[in-house]
Amino acid sequence: MNSTVDTSDETKRVLERQFDTAWSLTQYHLDGLTTEECLWRPTPTGPHVTQLPDGRWQADWPEREDYAAGAPSIAWLTWHVGFWWSMTLDHCFGPATLTREEIRWPGDADGVREWITELEGKWRRAVAELTAAELASSERTRWPFHERPFADVVA
């Protein structure tokens, strides 16, 4: 018996299952998260968020990407998830004008859950509309990679 599988459709199904698993784990960790936990600093140094005089929250941008800088706070980690998703959505599906400086931490755990869940929905809808040819193409791959199949970004 010769069974053939359309690998383009299978690639999309694998990416969707992989995303479903990652999203389930994300929800598990976000569900009980408190603002106090977000703002707790595990070490005296390390990436964190700072409330600006106007009430908005700005994330640190470390010069180094290693643990020598200090452990990041949960607030910074949740900002970083939102940063990557926001940038990827804007640069791969939008006008590609968003900058790191424009992305603010929401200010509390409820805001984090709302923000990350909104980004999840936008991402899921955008990826669901992609064809196998678009996943194989590098046309949308404008951030964080270049000249790679868009499936690499989705993965």
Domains (range + CATH), the chain = 9-62+69-154 (1.20.120)
Report whether pLDDT(132) > 80.
yes
The number of CA neighbours under 13 Å toward the Cβ of 6 is 7
- 31: CB partners within 8 A, 6+ apart: 113
**The model's pTM:** 0.91
**For position 64, what pLDDT does the model report?**
77
Between these two residues, 8 and 43, which has the higher pLDDT value?
Answer: 43
Chain-wide mean pLDDT for the chain? 93
**For position 150, what pLDDT does the model report?**
96
Report whether pLDDT(144) > 50.
yes
